[in-house]
């Protein structure tokens, strides 16, 4: 019964009279003009938000607890795996198109773009992953048109983890160290 009550908790709360419309909690994000927050849940393993745009595009934000084994892997491996596995259980096939590093909320982030196919339908999805303290966050754009790129840019620039201070190490240093350990075979 307690888990049922926890499942009904909101992941983020609206900041009244904020422009652009901003939602805050463990994570903070501004909702682009014309977009709508349609899913906002918090559970024992993480948080999930979904934004829908006027053209049918959507942006999802998943904040998940990260276990020690995943934490030892380079961020690039964790994000690539998440991007490809997303929807695989429902018959969605994914092919990698592009990958690159970027900085989001003063943290190292890894972006992966995939093409998803279900039967004759194809859709592009871009996933950006970053780490907080004991959590990993995945922001995913499911684009239907080029118009959603401005909304995607606004979500990425407004995104923050206010309860997790940015790491003291410079961006990308931790990921480089993890990649070296993985290449040397010293990763447990």
pLDDT tens, position by position, for the chain (188 residues)? 444 444 457 778 888 888 788 989 889 999 999 999 999 999 888 999 999 999 899 999 999 999 999 988 989 999 999 988 887 877 888 888 899 999 999 898 999 999 988 888 888 899 999 999 889 999 999 988 777 889 999 999 999 999 888 877 666 666 666 677 777 776 55
What does CATH list as the number for 2-184? 3.40.1000.10
Q: How far is residue 22's CA from residue 186's CA, in Å, rounded to a whole number?
A: 43
C-alpha angle 41/43/44, rounded to 5°?
165
pLDDT at 4: 44
User: What residues contact 183, with CB distance under 8 A and at least 6 apart?
Assistant: none
Q: How far is residue 140's CA from residue 26's CA, in Å, rounded to a whole number?
A: 18
pLDDT at 94: 86
19 phi, psi to nearest 5 deg: -130, 115
Q: What is the pTM of this model?
A: 0.83
Q: Which of 104, 158, 155 is nearest to 129 (CA)?
A: 104
Give yes or no for a contact between 73 and 163, defined as CB atoms under 8 angstroms apart: no
């Amino acid at each position: 019964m307690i888990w049922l009550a926890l499942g009904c908790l909101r992941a983020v709360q609206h900041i009244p009279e904020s422009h652009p419309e901003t939602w805050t909690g463990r994570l903070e994000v501004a909702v682009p003009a014309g977009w709508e927050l349609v899913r906002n849940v918090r559970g024992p393993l993480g948080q999930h938000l979904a934004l829908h745009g006027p053209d049918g595009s959507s942006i999802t934000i998943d904040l998940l607890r990260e276990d020690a084994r995943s934490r030892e892997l380079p961020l690039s491996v964790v994000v690539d795996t998440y991007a490809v596995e997303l929807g695989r259980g429902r018959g969605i096939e994914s092919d990698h198109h592009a990958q690159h590093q970027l900085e989001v909320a003063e943290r190292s982030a890894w972006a992966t773009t995939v093409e998803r196919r279900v039967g004759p339908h194809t859709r592009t999805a871009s996933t950006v992953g970053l780490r907080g303290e004991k959590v990993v966050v995945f922001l995913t754009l499911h684009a239907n048109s080029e118009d959603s790129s401005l909304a995607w840019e606004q979500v990425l620039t407004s995104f923050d983890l206010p309860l997790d201070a940015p790491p003291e190490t410079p961006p990308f240093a931790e990921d480089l160290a993890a990649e070296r350990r993985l290449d040397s075979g010293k990763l447990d």
